[in-house]
Amino acid sequence: MIKNLLTCTLACLLLLSGVAKAVTLNVMTSYPQPVVMVMQQAFEEAHPDIELNILWRRPHDALSLLLQEESADVDVIWMPSVRTFLSLKAHEKLAQLKLNREGLPILLGETAISDPQGYFIATEIAGYGLFFEPEKLKQAGLVVPNQWQDLLAAEWQAESGGNNNPEPADVLDDCIDQTLEIGGQLDPKWGEVNRHGRSGTLWPVAGGPDTLRAIYSRRLDGDDYLTAVAGDGLYYIIRWMPSGEQRLLGTHQYGNDMTNADSPHYLDQAEDYANEVLHEPLYTKESRQGRIERRYTVSSTL
């Protein structure tokens, strides 16, 4: 049996939250809106006398905010970040949960998912597993794996799925044909072949499959170039200075609102990403000075 790799999400209460008497319950979360709305609707149906006010924050942003004095306005934190809760506990920002936790695990394997003193608990976990057909593995000459490490065995690496590695000469011929078809020559500039962007707005971009800047591209709709469609190319450079100051630089592949085509932040970082230009992520109040156009609070009556 393949062992499951598990992740957990955690929820906790802030110190002095006053939840029992609250008319409005302020919940800080990093979960996407469709997930939160289901939970919000169910909660308010069960507790019609309490209105939920949802505050969306990424875990790192949440920690910076919650360590400030105004964090008393937050009653519940619900996000998948053990480090955030450990930091809040260390700064005495959490109240112990008065719940019967009998039978609830503190550890999952060797990973702590809940606090032994009850300052935060795991509310749900997600499991990852592997399914296979033993008969087909037998036909392919592959040993049935019993743990994840077994998949690194030579026979799995060389014959995964029962397929032999292709002949290098055949792969080279195929690459030559694709290059000539797209670039018209064997030595085109890679930026003329490989592009990044959306909706007709594209920039030349470096990177490729299985490189440090892993970008996987496809030819879309008869284009005479490749468009980046996937990859692992998001990097942040983090430095800890001798003074203890932390400095960060990075750029998103698209923008902070990459799912909303009407947003000015839908594609506003893509050009800098293609040109390998890095920016501060504006985590601190000082770095945001002069950049804030408006402030607003997200809330809902659902």
Q: What is the pLDDT of residues 95-107, one digit of tens each?
A: 888 888 788 788 8
Q: Quickly state the pLDDT bin for 267 (edges 50, 70, 90).
A: very high
Q: Quickly state the pLDDT bin for 272 (edges 50, 70, 90).
A: very high
> Region 247-275: what's the mean pLDDT?
89
Q: 2, 279, 32, 274: which is closest to 132 by C-alpha?
A: 2
List, in order, residues 6 or more apart from 87 with CB less than 8 Å away. 63, 67
Residues 24 and 61 occupy one common structural domain: yes
Tokens of 286: 């000082």
Alpha-carbon gap, residue 88 to 286, rounded angstroms: 22
Residues 208 and 251 occupy one common structural domain: no
pLDDT at 295 over 90: no
Q: Quickly state the pLDDT bin for 85 (edges 50, 70, 90).
A: confident
Residues 41 and 88 occupy one common structural domain: yes
Residues 22 and 115 occupy one common structural domain: yes
pLDDT (0 to 100) of residue 157: 61
Is residue 286 in a domain?
A: no
Helix 59-66 × helix 82-90 angle, to 10°: 10
Alpha-carbon gap, residue 6 to 129, rounded angstroms: 9
Range of the domain at 172: 168-231
Q: CA–CA distance from 88 to each of 58, 72, 94, 148, 180 (Å)? A: 15, 12, 6, 34, 57
pLDDT at 245 over 60: yes
Is residue 263 in a domain?
A: yes
> Region 47-71: what's the mean pLDDT?
81
Residues 256 and 200 occupy one common structural domain: no
> What percentage of the chain exceeds 90 in pLDDT?
10
Q: Are strands 51-56 and 111-112 parallel, antiparallel or unpaired?
A: unpaired
Is residue 255 in a domain?
A: yes
Q: Quickly state the pLDDT bin for 302 (edges 50, 70, 90).
A: low
Burial (CB count within 10 angstroms: exposed 0-12, middle 13-18, buried 19+), residue 10: buried
Q: Quickly state the pLDDT bin for 154 (edges 50, 70, 90).
A: low
pLDDT (0 to 100) of residue 275: 92
Is residue 294 in a domain?
A: no
Q: CA–CA distance from 191 to each of 97, 168, 195, 204, 275 (Å)? A: 56, 25, 6, 4, 11
- 243-257: b (≥16 Cβ within 10 Å) or e: eeeeebeebbbbbee
pLDDT (0 to 100) of residue 281: 83
Domain boundary among 148, 165, 182: 165
Tokens of 167: 């002949």
Residues 62 and 117 occupy one common structural domain: yes
Is residue 260 in a domain?
A: yes
Is residue 290 in a domain?
A: no
Least confident interval from 16-30, 91-105, 168-182 = 16-30
pLDDT at 162 over 70: no
pLDDT (0 to 100) of residue 204: 94
Residues 156 and 175 occupy one common structural domain: no
For 185-226, write each residue's pLDDT tens digit.
Answer: 888 888 888 999 988 899 999 988 878 888 889 888 778 889
Contact 23, 50 (CB under 8 A): yes
Is residue 301 in a domain?
A: no
Residues 161 and 185 occupy one common structural domain: no
| DSSP classification of residue 116 | T
Residues 15 and 113 occupy one common structural domain: yes
Q: How many domains does the chain have?
A: 4
Is residue 30 in a domain?
A: yes
> What percentage of the chain exceeds 70 in pLDDT?
85
Q: Are strands 51-56 and 76-79 parallel, antiparallel or unpaired?
A: unpaired
